[in-house]
């Protein structure tokens, strides 16, 4: 989806699509052991039938494999609640370049026996070996899911809303996503999805997942009241019904698809201190000028200091970077496999 597997030189191409079997699932602990070619969405369905969920969910769920997810250390929409694959992957089986099978396929949540070798392969993008099986911890399926979609007057207010949200929703907060007005314009133009709130410079999607529908809705309601009365958000709507929840999520999940309809997309997933993230979008717009049809920013605000939002310039056609741009925005080995390093007052972090 982001060109991570596009062969450009002399790579070896393997398909793990036939390695698509669930090996075991423990309905007490929620530990799933499966082959690396299982499609994420199929695994989600499998565990949901047993009242669990996968700890990650991505726009690409219908086609991506769990082995690819682990190899890219994909974060996704549940990152805020369940953390990174570095925590939820319990074990891996990997085949090394010389054919050695490395069996670290433990299904123990606590395993203090020496080095944690599996961590080397999480995010290694196939450079150290082929992941052939994965053991992963699945959380219980939440009984109640509520979603609120809000309009926000500025990025500073997006951040303040996030702080308020964490304070008021605490343990039931499961997602906090933002998108800018250009994203909304593009999902409207290309996918005919309408905004459920009045036009705003930014939009926020807040999801809660808990065990008591009434209690969770009440908490979300109080948060909305507080956010609206303090002017942090200017408009909002809430959904508890599954169909409406899906419709609100579609506005966020289908941004990538809308961008693909709009032109050639240069995708950068960048981790930066949250308070500086949107400066990057503004700077890129100024720097690219008419070379880009759109520069959009959206993503999840995860954790306390860094975010993993997506900056997506869309151009009218492919162009090599002008010489003067190469120093500021460079892809390459210095940042590790597939890493992108962005110079922003020396405070940029590696991507993912
Ligand atoms: C560095 C990176 C980070 C990403 N982070 C996110 C994210 O946070 N959220 C999100 O929604 N999407 C993310 N993506 C998009 C990502 O492509 C998909 O989300 C998905 O996880 C990839 O799965 P896939 O099966 O399509 O893998 P592919 O696109 O086929 O492969 C992706 C990379 O993983 C390697 N790989 C695939 N399978 C294996 C295996 N079995 N063993 C070893 N290596 C393997 C490939 O060689 C390639 O380098 C990221 C992509 C990259 C490249």
Residue 2 lies in a domain: no
Query: Can you read off the two tokens belonging to residue 186?
Result: 């593009």
CB < 8 Å & 24+ apart, contacts of 42-47: 46/22, 47/138
- Best residue among 3, 7, 74 to mutate for probing ligand 1's pocket (most ligand atoms within 8 Å of CB) is 74
Do 79 and 149 lie in a common domain?
no
Three-class SS of residue 64?
coil
Residue 5 lies in a domain: no
Residue 162 lies in a domain: yes
Beta bridge partners of 291: none
For 121, the domain range is 22-137
**What number is the average pLDDT over the span 258-269?**
86
**What number is the average pLDDT over the span 190-218?**
93
Find the angle CA(91)-CA(78)-CA(133) to the nearest 5 degrees.
Answer: 20
**CA torsion angle 172 88 149 350 (round to 10):** 130
Residue after which a domain boundary falls, among 79, 108, 137: 137
Which of these ranges, 88-97, 189-198, 237-246, 263-272, has the smallest mean pLDDT?
263-272
For residue 6, report the distance from its CA to the centre of ligand 1, in Å. 11
Element of type H or E holding 169: helix 155-169
For residue 148, report the distance from its CA to the centre of ligand 1, in Å. 30
Nearest CA to ligand 1 atom 33: 125
Q: Which CATH number does the domain housing residue 238 bear?
A: 3.30.70.2190
Do 118 and 208 lie in a common domain?
no
- List, for residues 120-145, the tens digit of each pLDDT value: 999 999 999 999 999 999 999 999 99
- Give the pLDDT of residue 77: 82
Asked if residues 136 and 90 have their Cβ atoms less than 8 Å apart, the reply is yes
Do 128 and 149 lie in a common domain?
no
125 lines ligand 1 (CB under 6 A): yes
Question: Is 0.85 topped by the overall pTM?
Answer: no
* Structural domain total, the chain: 3
Do 277 and 246 lie in a common domain?
no
- List, for residues 10-28, the tens digit of each pLDDT value: 877 889 999 999 999 999 9
Residue 273 lies in a domain: yes
Do 129 and 189 lie in a common domain?
no
């Amino acid at each position: 989806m982001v060109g991570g597997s596009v062969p450009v030189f002399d790579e070896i191409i393997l398909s793990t699509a036939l390695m698509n079997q669930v090996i075991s699932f423990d309905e007490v602990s929620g530990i799933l052991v499966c082959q690396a070619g299982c499609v994420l969405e199929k695994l989600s369905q499998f565990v949901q039938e047993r009242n669990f969920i996968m700890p990650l969910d991505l726009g690409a769920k219908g086609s991506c494999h769990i082995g690819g997810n682990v190899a890219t250390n994909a974060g996704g929409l549940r990152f805020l609640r369940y953390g990174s694959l570095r925590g939820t992957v319990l074990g891996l089986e990997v085949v090394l370049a010389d054919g050695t099978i490395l069996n670290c396929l433990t299904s123990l949540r606590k395993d203090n026996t020496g080095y944690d070798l599996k961590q080397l392969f999480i995010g290694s993008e196939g450079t150290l070996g082929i992941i052939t099986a994965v053991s992963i911890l699945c959380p219980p399926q939440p009984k109640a899911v509520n979603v609120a979609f809000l309009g926000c007057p500025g990025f500073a207010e997006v951040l303040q809303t996030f702080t308020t949200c964490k304070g008021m929703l605490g343990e039931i907060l499961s997602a906090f996503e933002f998108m800018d007005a250009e994203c909304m314009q593009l999902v409207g133009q290309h996918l005919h999805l309408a905004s459920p709130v009045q036009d705003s410079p930014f939009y926020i999607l807040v999801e809660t997942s808990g065990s008591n529908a009434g209690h969770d809705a009440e908490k979300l309601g109080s948060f909305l009241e507080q956010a609206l009365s303090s002017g942090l958000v200017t408009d909002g709507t809430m959904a508890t019904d599954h169909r409406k929840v899906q419709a609100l999520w579609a506005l966020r999940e289908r941004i990538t698809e809308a961008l693909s309809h709009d032109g050639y997309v240069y995708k950068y997933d960048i981790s930066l201190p949250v308070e500086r993230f949107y400066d990057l979008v503004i700077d890129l717009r100024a720097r690219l000028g008419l070379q880009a049809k759109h520069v959009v920013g959206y993503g999840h605000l995860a954790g306390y200091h860094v975010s993993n939002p997506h900056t997506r310039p869309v151009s009218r056609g492919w162009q090599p970077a002008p010489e003067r741009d190469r120093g500021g925005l460079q892809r390459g080995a210095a940042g590790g496999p597939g890493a992108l390093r962005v110079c922003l007052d020396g405070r940029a972090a590696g991507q993912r």
